[in-house]
Amino acid sequence: MLLDGDVVTRCRRRVHLDHDPTMIDSPTAPLDPGAEQRIADAAEYRRELAERLGRELAPDWTEIPGDESVADRERATLAAMRSGVGYISGAQLPSDNEGGRQGSVDLLVRSRGGYVPVLVVRHKVTDPGKGARTSPLTDPRPESAARDPRRKPRSQARDQLRLAHLVRLLQACGMQPTGRKFGGAIGSDTDTVLWHDLESRGWSGGRSVLAEYDERFADRIAVAEAAVAGSEALAQPTRVVECKGCPWWPVCGQQLRAARDVSLVVRGDDAVRLRAVGVTTVDELAELPVGTTREPPLPPNRMSDAVLLARAWLRDVPLVRRVSEVKVSRGDVEIDVDMESYADSGAYLWGSLLSYPRDEANGTRTTAELFDVEPGYRGFVTWDPLPSDDEARSFAEFWSWFSALRRAAHEHGLTFRAYCYNELAENRWMLSSAQRFAGKPGIPTVEEVREFVGSSEWVDVFAVVRDQFLCPNGKGLKVIAPSAGFAWRDSEAGGENSMRWYRDAVGFDGGVPERQQRDRLLEYNEDDVRATLAIRRWISSGQVREIPYTGDM
């Protein structure tokens, strides 16, 4: 049995099902279109980077053909390593039959008498800061690495564990360099290689990355072998974050619902702790008293929340109030904001919905006439395929319009509030845009953006929901908005599908841009901001009738 490096970051139950011969005809979930597109984009990104590096590093560069059999690619890779080629692209490392490993790597770099693995990934591997060990793309060797005064490493546990897997494969075939064990990653910030010391303490605390990998891999091997042998399963189904995109969810979901498993309402370590004290079903959890009990398996507040989540789940209640009175900060001038981005390439659309609550309440146009700006939706967009400098123009137009309304509200003694649903994405791209396009017309400074996002005028409605409600089915916008009476016009509305629509809208891959998909994205974005508006109006209306946070539920 041979496993690849992905198993160490994969759910144990999925590893079992992947290797259980009795599951061969079981129904599986199709790959999500958005995930399918991300996989295709990542493959194209790796291909483009390989072509670029091949030109820069020739003639000490060789590429293993990707259309040959695994056995032929293994032989070609081993031959290239034995001949001392400096850089091997698309390598298929010789299988480690004794250790149960197999694997391929984007790039092998000759170093200290052996080879070090380098991943090419379509996400960022560094952040602004200092302390990362990087080398230039023109000299992608660990010997050329130095402390980077402008970057700090992102932890990226999955990358590091994959590199540890590759190091063990290199050791097995006698091609691991002498000295400390390193692995590299080239991310979407493609001007450097980030080097990870795999023998140093990783994200998990006291253990090295290699020690963490070895323990996980040994566990996954045992799980897979038990599945193949048909012996007692070492991994039982439990709901985790990975379930959302797992092909085996139709199988596990049915089993969990039939068993009314406790992980349907609490996940991760909380579910493990509850099972350890004999609480295995939602029904058993719902029967526990609310409030502190003698030596509860969870901290008191989390224990009370878990019990109420179980009771809400049994009654099919979408939200449970945690406070006697729910509220959200309101203003005289309000703007709901929602941003659309394409992976890590940029933010192409800033949707904004302007409203004047006092005008709406009084049936007047007083505030609208004072500001000379009509209420309603506006989309600040670029349809140039990202990455593009035109992104700077669309963001500058959004920020200038937005900031002018904010200043005008202050000048007239009116309160201003702007809203989003989960500020992490909007904050990231506002700060990133200010940094990347610094000095261009209309672009704010990073300090200006930081001042705004740290102010009371920027309200995260997701945080309001999280702090004031328990949500047994999740807190996402698409989950909560229907409780406020809102429905999207497009039955396929969703972040994953919007990625596909965007590619059609801008004519990626040389296609003809589709106007219909542009209109669809604008409508989808408008519905997202209107959903945020519906939720906060519902919260502040005093008409939230869901079951309150009490022990009488």
What's the token pair of residue 393?
Answer: 């123009």
The answer to whether the peptide bond before residue 387 is cis (omega within 30 degrees of 0) is: yes
Measured between alpha carbons, how far is 531 from 478 in angstroms, rounded to an integer?
8
- pLDDT surpasses 70 at 440: yes
The pair of three-digit structure tokens given for residue 54, joined into one six-digit string: 């091949």
Distance separating alpha carbons of residues 149 and 445, to the nearest angstrom: 21
Query: What's the mean pLDDT in 462-488?
Result: 91
pLDDT at position 224 is 97
Average pLDDT rounded to a whole number, residues 538-543: 81
Average pLDDT (256-285) is 92
- Give the Cα separation of 288 and 265 in Å (integer): 14
Q: What is the mean pLDDT of residues 374-402?
A: 95
What average pLDDT does the segment 517-545 reach?
90
Q: What is the share, in percent, of the chain residues with pLDDT greater than 90?
A: 70
Domain range summary for the chain, segments of one domain joined by +: 33-223, 260-316, 333-552
Cα 382 from Cα 72, distance rounded (Å): 46
**Which tokens is 503 given?**
């590619």
Q: Please return the burial class of 407, using the count of CB atoms within 10 Å of its CB with bins 0-12, 13-18 and 19+.
A: exposed
Is 380 a residue whose pLDDT tops 90?
yes
Residue type, 110: R
Please give the pLDDT value at position 551.
Answer: 47
* CA gap 335, 318 in Å, rounded: 27
Among the CATH numbers 3.90.1310, 1.25.40, 3.30.70, 3.30.420, which is that of 333-552?
3.30.420
- pLDDT value at residue 73: 97
Model confidence pLDDT, tens digit, residues 170-209: 999 999 998 999 999 999 877 899 999 999 876 666 789 9
Predicted confidence (pLDDT) at residue 281 exceeds the cutoff of 70 = yes
What's the pLDDT score for residue 293? 55
Return the amino acid letter for 320: V
Q: 341: part of which helix (H) or strand (E)?
A: strand 333-342
The stretch 479-488 carries a mean pLDDT of 92
The alpha-helical segments, DSSP class H, found in 83-208 are 157-172
